Chain A
Amino acid sequence: KAGVTQTPRYLIKTRGQQVTLSCSPISGHRSVSWYQQTPGQGLQFLFEYFSETQRNKGNFPGRFSGRQFSNSRSEMNVSTLELGDSALYLCASSLGPLNLEWESNTGELFFGEGSRLTVL
């Protein structure tokens, strides 16, 4: 079974540009979450999607947005890039929300390798 796939793995942008990152979850997983990881802050939650709907949102500015498609693939977009947006962006998939009766659904997250964004 293929894992979570994120593209691109590395990218360099300049301030003011925008970027789109893509995530393909594990087959059968319908929930996708996005996290930003930096050395100082650790993993910070961005948002979570299920069935093309945003279920949870972290404390990030509106420049950070995302969406999920009918095949569960997800994208996140960051507009008007700032130097502080340089980070590893991790996508994680899981079966789905806990209120759905899936056997052994602990809500465990499976992470992709991440997209490392550098803003110059």
Chain B
Amino acid sequence: GQNIDQPTEMTATEGAIVQINCTYQTSGFNGLFWYQQHAGEAPTFLSYNVLDGLEEKGRFSSFLSRSKGYSYLLLKELQMKDSASYLCAVRELTGGGNKLTFGTGTQLKVEL
């Protein structure tokens, strides 16, 4: 089984940088995803890490340390539209299946 922990809520200021942490425990790690979900909308894909290190994509970056069971999502130059829930999800080795286990999400509020 898996256990995924991320903070419930975070607040940050427009233009600032925020880091959302995620820790996980799994018996067979096979990739970590970050999704963004605005209220009343579907989750949308932000990033994917399967090897240790940093993946950068515009204002968003994601880091993974497999030995520590740790990832973070870094959002730079925050905008009001970044107010959303950010979901950390881990894929476990399941014989080729594609089952993701999600954390409960971090609700980010961006203020002026």
The distance from the CB of A109 to the nearest CB of chain B, in whole angstroms, is 6
Which residues does chain B contribute within 8 Å of A90, judged by CB atoms?
A: 42-43
* Residue B21, interface by CB 8 Å: no
Known contacts being A107-B91, A110-B45, A111-B43, is A42 close to B98, with CB within 8 Å? no
Interface size class of B (residues with CB under 8 A): 20 to 34
A43, B102: Cβ atoms under 8 Å? Answer: yes
B31, A33: Cβ atoms under 8 Å? Answer: no
Which among A4, A31, A41, A113 is the interface contact of B98 at CB below 8 angstroms? A31
List 20 other contacts, CB 8 Å, given A44-B102, A106-B50, A108-B48: A4-B42, A33-B98, A33-B100, A41-B104, A42-B104, A45-B101, A55-B96, A55-B98, A56-B99, A97-B96, A97-B97, A97-B98, A100-B96, A107-B31, A108-B33, A108-B45, A109-B43, A109-B100, A111-B42, A111-B44
